[in-house]
Structure 1
């Protein structure tokens, strides 16, 4: 039983290639279990297998194509309605992931989704950048013990009564607190329809059929651990720019808490960044431009959508990158040894002489040397660089492979 673990963390605003890096590490780590350490179904981690099959992972760990198991930690928000769709899609690809969940993992209900979407619609042009999947509302509801719902609660004989209580007692209180006096017609109909609750109960039963209860403290019994973070450090609820943050800790914080429970003593954290910066959704983006010179962006995952709009762009800002990673590495480690390294992705999209910035000054880089230069300027060892969307396009450095 190993007490060492690996981790992949988004260094900025998400969409940095975390799925690709988890897939690459899982392929190099036989018997691995990928641990979802934060977030929920709003994550979108793209993996293209060696044969060219593409999947965007939302619940299931991005190491599944490489044969890794998946574990939902106590900080991961399960979404039974969407999980089953993802499992069906993976099954059609011949992938049947082994899944476990800490009993404390919160569970999203359709009522959280309804509140979330109603709130974002009410904000109009002042949206916060939510995906509309109920993640933040799940966290908010679970702060009230009488309305909380976690994976272990799905076994309760009074589950139906609890769901009705959430619908009839929690939803009106929450809507009133948000200043929402009326729901859009479609959302109001879904809230009032008993079929909504019945379908969710069926989804919960199917979820329990697929996910074994397994406490975080026994993680190391399952195999070598690879933590998979969601979103990025600049979206952390405690460190990002409110209100344009996610309701979770996106870096080491949750991983360290889980590691203390599980007896993990060493953690190798790979911080992933594109060679440029993207942000999906509202909020500040330093150096934002309508288009990037010297970058041919290829990103089929982040298509324009109703909830987060169009992918936003900026040159990679080294000052922002350094500060975000430094803040994460200065967290209280609880006696756990941490090594940090950098992964630079999307280098195949860069042309000769593309630019990054540092303290407001433009620095032009040759793509062939860019990863090493970015890592040096960021003050971290370079552990990986990617030149395409598949694990075979990722060059791992020796110290990362040994992590």
Structure 2
């Protein structure tokens, strides 16, 4: 059975933990989008693994890991993750496969990201400054794109980098008065990248289709969240890739018909990092309480996340567009001890109530939430293993979310560890 795991909010929903759990029964975990701007955390016992490019299944020896063509690869970070896992006696030899069509993030992409954000001032988008957007822009522009396959042809790559960096230097100097980038420095790094990553580069689309024909179980892993999708998210405050389930096919070359389950990840509340509209945000003591209890600080950046109530309108929308068949709800334990809880069931936009997510930025920014209020619970649920053993108010909360979003909740996270998950049919 093949399944796809994707975030349904603005990212940080807990995909690393869920992918790790599902990877136990998967032969392959394939990452299909995003780059080092993602942060997936896996906790096994007392060990914590923070992964940015590597598929979360990497921490399970024997599970093959695919980095698909839709991912933009920062070689420096990826090599660091490979070596970091090796230091913890986890080898990727013979089980990591990087698409030869994946585009490469180089130093000039990161510089461009920083310079552009600085120049925008108060109008900045709020990127992670990891070079993701500029790399995707080069991919779409084609002429200046560098792909993993280029590491197999270093002589040609040197000539291409000379042309690319000459152009970039002119642009950076004219727009930002920036110092020139050294071609030799960039190419020297590329030689190291080619040596260390070369053994992992292959045609991953062919590998995935052959694996499907052999009856292997594949888990497709998304990055960020569907509300950050370039086409269907809160534009322009989005990422530069299709972060919803819709990005799976283009990001790895496997059509949706080959996937049996589409699992959408949510938190029991809502968070967001960076700029952009956030209808249920609680910029108050309630939001700070959620932030502190849920440790809501970015895996990649360390930035405090904006926190608010569960947004059923936004989640129902992302579940619809992604064809989500079931939902995994994380951080239910974070809500313990709060006297009452709210779920947004509709928006009031220009005096009209709607339960469909408005994609127009101005309409969304002006939307007022229509809440359903439920009583909370005081019990510690971090050790609960069965849904029936949850406090009645916790069960009521989960069932109300199901009713509003129209998708069953089949997994519930009650803590950060692999073992702290309730499976519910």
Task: Indicate whether the TM-score tops 0.5.
Answer: yes
- Cα deviation, residue 109, structure 1: 1.3
Partner of 2:107: 110
Partner of 1:362: 372
SS, match of residue 293 in structure 2: coil
> Unaligned 5+ residue runs, structure 2?
347-369, 376-392
Of 273, 280, 290, the residue aligned with 1:287 is 280
Of 408, 411, 424, the residue aligned with 1:381 is 408
- Cα deviation, residue 110, structure 1: 1.2
Cα deviation, 1:228-261, whole Å, max 9, x if unaligned, reads 1011111100012222111111122232346764
Cα deviation, 1:347-401, whole Å, max 9, x if unaligned, reads 1111243332222123225334433331232111112110011221112234xxx
- Cα deviation, residue 197, structure 1: 3.3
SS, match of residue 260 in structure 2: strand
Structure 2: how far apart are the matches of 1:153 and 1:303? 30
* Residues 1:153 and 1:55: Cα distance change in structure 2 (over 3 Å): same
Output the aligned Cα RMSD.
2.4
Equivalent positions of 1:303-342 (< 5 A) are 305=301, 309-329=303-323, 340-342=325-327
Structure 1: how far apart are the matches of 2:46 and 2:75? 28
The answer on 1:231 being equivalent to 2:220 is no
Equivalent positions of 1:129-140 (< 5 A) are 129-140=126-137
SS, match of residue 313 in structure 2: helix
Aligned 8 A contact 1:80 1:204 in 2: no
TM-score, structure 2 as length reference: 0.81
* Residues 1:263 and 1:349: Cα distance change in structure 2 (over 3 Å): closer
Structure 1: how far apart are the matches of 2:252 and 2:186? 38
Aligned 8 A contact 1:65 1:95 in 2: yes
Partner of 2:122: 125
TM-score, structure 1 as length reference: 0.85
* Residues 1:258 and 1:136: Cα distance change in structure 2 (over 3 Å): closer
Structure 1: how far apart are the matches of 2:259 and 2:176? 51
> Unaligned 5+ residue runs, structure 1?
330-338, 399-403
* Residues 1:370 and 1:315: Cα distance change in structure 2 (over 3 Å): same
- Cα deviation, residue 41, structure 1: 1.1
Of 263, 269, 276, the residue aligned with 1:276 is 269
Cα deviation, 1:125-152, whole Å, max 9, x if unaligned, reads 3221111111111111123333221111
Partner of 2:76: 81
Partner of 1:371: 398
The answer on 1:64 being equivalent to 2:52 is no
Could you list the structure 1 runs, at least 4 aligned residues long, displaced by more than 6 angstroms after superposition: none
Of 163, 166, 179, the residue aligned with 1:165 is 163
Structure 2: how far apart are the matches of 1:320 and 1:89? 37
The answer on 1:26 being equivalent to 2:26 is no
SS, match of residue 104 in structure 2: coil
* Residues 1:313 and 1:86: Cα distance change in structure 2 (over 3 Å): same
Aligned 8 A contact 2:33 2:223 in 1: yes
Partner of 2:333: 348
SS, match of residue 40 in structure 1: coil
* Residues 1:263 and 1:103: Cα distance change in structure 2 (over 3 Å): farther
* Residues 1:121 and 1:46: Cα distance change in structure 2 (over 3 Å): same
The answer on 1:247 being equivalent to 2:247 is no
